[in-house]
Amino acid sequence: MADPALPTLDDARAVLAPAEQLLDRALARARELTRQGAAIDDHQVLSERIAYAATEARAARELVAYVERTKAEGRADALLEATAAAASADLVTSLVGRLAASADALGIDDVLPADVRKRVRAAGDEAVFRALGRAVAERRGRNETPLDETLEQVRASVREFAEKEIAPHAERIHRHDETIPEEFITKMAELGYFGLSIPEQYGGTEMGNLAMILTTEELSRASLAGAGSLITRPEILTKALMAGGTEEQKKFWLPKIASGERMVGIAVTEPDVGSDVASVKCRAERATVGGREGWVINGPKAWCTFAGRANILALLARTNPDPAAGAKGLSLFIVEKEPSREHAFKQTQSGGGVLEGKADATIGYRGMHSYTLQFENWFVPAENLVGGESGLGKGFYLQMGGFAAGRLQTGGRACGLAQAALEKSAEYVLDRIQFGKPTVEFGLTQYELGRMAARLAAARAITYAAAEAMDADERKAAPLAAQAKLLSCDIAVEITQRGQVLHGGWGYAEEYAISRYAVDALVLPIFEGVRPILALKVVARNLLAG
């Protein structure tokens, strides 16, 4: 079959601009309806649609901008341009559909003008996706996204490490529900992966957020739960310490985090407190134990990932017992504990404190293990209150700042996992013979592969853009990081599931990696702000306030 005329960046721009105009009109009306975001809860469905549509537009815009830059440097070929155009057409179709569902409330047309619709159809024609799919199969799904020389080197070296040291163990860790091997931690620490965002003066390598994302992607491609997720927690605590820690705390903790001497767990969620973080109940009360000033922690925490092996937990606790204090009654502590590789542990302190933990069995994301914890008079010295006395009551804000970094990192995790699924699917359809020929020769298979690759390119573009924005201004970039997480995680779920179907029955067998990818991906839209909360309370709130 002859290749169709591939769409170009001009096509991408031509479909995107009118969609963005429609979105702008919808946003203006939604701001009125929600009183600049104050009444989002009265319009949740509409607000979620707007948030998601704006995220799709932003991803398309970032992909087009990325390919424009790459083309200007002479490094973009016709396929990369076509990927940007086809992905833009796909995202525009989706976002217009979302807005159309609320068109009456938003006072907008429910379709784009006829000439634009025609161009959307042409750029996103099935023949274009099939051509992309054939190209994906030809390079076995390999990620060759052009980067500058330094970043190419970062990606190549992490890829080599992850393929050699991590990937061969990923299936075993998952199927036997093992705890991540110590060698992974030692080697990743030696390579500086835990200090990528830590300034050099505090023992890190401060390579910047894009290097961190590329590292995360490659590790997650080898194993989401065995490696890619190990750098989420250091990232979250590092950002909280950099924003609100005292100079002594930064000097004390950051080098230990960067060197892997201290592995981190994040203890925010409780059995009865999830999305409504401001309602955290776990208590911290002032106490003197064994002659030391500090705090005792009492209460449960839930879903504390890596809490067994971790030797410090960033724990959000209520220091002001008045529930009316809400978020302002919360403070962030660095809680020390002994590392344990067991699925259940009990530890005691000489002063009488007890900490018990039990990993909740999960369908995927094994290796990290997420624990329910119970603290009973667990002593934390005064110097472990993040920010010292002036950090009192600031825990919620520090934790939320940390989560912004976590969300960016999770965008990278999602892209890495989706990449793994794309590669395994490409390999499978090249080898699998049905009806006398490899399944890659069927048009629908090619279309699926091409669309998976185009969607992944969009997820990658918004994630890389968020990383660069974070380097420029962390606070301002937080909403973009949330959008990157929102879209990339959904795309990872979609690509792993489509890849699983391309594997047919074998996609359901544990010995095929795609089955692990599919269950691992399911967690991505849940943590660090479950999808609806992220869309409403972070993305929509930011967009509608403006």
Ligand X SMILES: Cc1cc2nc3c(=O)[nH]c(=O)nc-3n(C[C@H](O)[C@H](O)[C@H](O)COP(=O)(O)OP(=O)(O)OC[C@H]3O[C@@H](n4cnc5c(N)ncnc54)[C@H](O)[C@@H]3O)c2cc1C
Q: Among residues 113 and 271, whose Cβ is nearest to ligand X?
A: 271
Q: Tell me how far apart the alpha carbons of residues 3 and 132 are, in angstroms, rounded to a whole number.
A: 10
Contacts of 110 (CB under 8 A, 6+ apart): 96, 99, 100, 103
Position 16 contacts ligand X (CB under 6 A) = no
Position 522 contacts ligand X (CB under 6 A) = no
Q: Tell me how far apart the alpha carbons of residues 458 and 466 are, in angstroms, rounded to a whole number.
A: 12
Host H or E run for residue 229:
none
Q: Tell me how far apart the alpha carbons of residues 95 and 110 are, in angstroms, rounded to a whole number.
A: 11
Q: Among residues 371 and 428, whose Cβ is nearest to ligand X?
A: 371
Position 303 contacts ligand X (CB under 6 A) = yes
Whether 528 is catalytic: yes
Residue 318 dihedral angles phi and psi, to the nearest 5° = -85, 115
Give the range of 152-160, 203-211, 299-307, 384-392 binding ligand X by CB under 6 A: 299-307
Q: Among residues 105 and 302, whose Cβ is nearest to ligand X?
A: 302
Q: Among residues 244 and 402, whose Cβ is nearest to ligand X?
A: 402
3-state DSSP helix/strand/coil percent for the chain, to nearest 5?
60, 15, 25
Q: How far is the CB of 364 from ligand X (least distance, A)?
A: 8
Position 266 contacts ligand X (CB under 6 A) = yes
Q: Which of 378, 401, 402, 398 is nearest to 388 (CA)?
A: 398
Position 546 contacts ligand X (CB under 6 A) = no
Q: Among residues 305 and 483, whose Cβ is nearest to ligand X?
A: 305
Q: Among residues 309 and 503, whose Cβ is nearest to ligand X?
A: 309
Position 45 contacts ligand X (CB under 6 A) = no
Position 379 contacts ligand X (CB under 6 A) = no
Position 523 contacts ligand X (CB under 6 A) = yes
Position 275 contacts ligand X (CB under 6 A) = yes
Q: Please give the angle made by the CA atoms of 246, 249 and 250, to the nearest 5 degrees.
A: 90
User: Is the C-alpha dihedral spanning 458, 138, 163, 156 positive or negative?
Assistant: negative
Q: How far is the CB of 534 from ligand X (least distance, A)?
A: 9
Q: Both tokens of residue 35?
A: 């009183």
Contact 50, 540 (CB under 8 A): yes
Q: How far is the CB of 200 from ligand X (least distance, A)?
A: 28
Q: Which of 20, 48, 474, 528 is catalytic?
A: 528
Position 268 contacts ligand X (CB under 6 A) = yes
Q: How many other C-beta atoms are found inside a 10 Å radius of the C-beta of residue 175?
A: 12
Give the range of 187-195, 212-220, 472-480, 524-532 binding ligand X by CB under 6 A: 524-532
Q: Tell me how far apart the alpha carbons of residues 208 and 59 are, in angstroms, rounded to a whole number.
A: 21
- Total binding residues toward ligand X, as defined by CB under 6 A: 19
Binding site for ligand X (CB under 6 A): 44, 266-269, 274-275, 303-305, 362, 365, 370, 523, 526-527, 530, 532-533
Residues with catalytic roles? 528
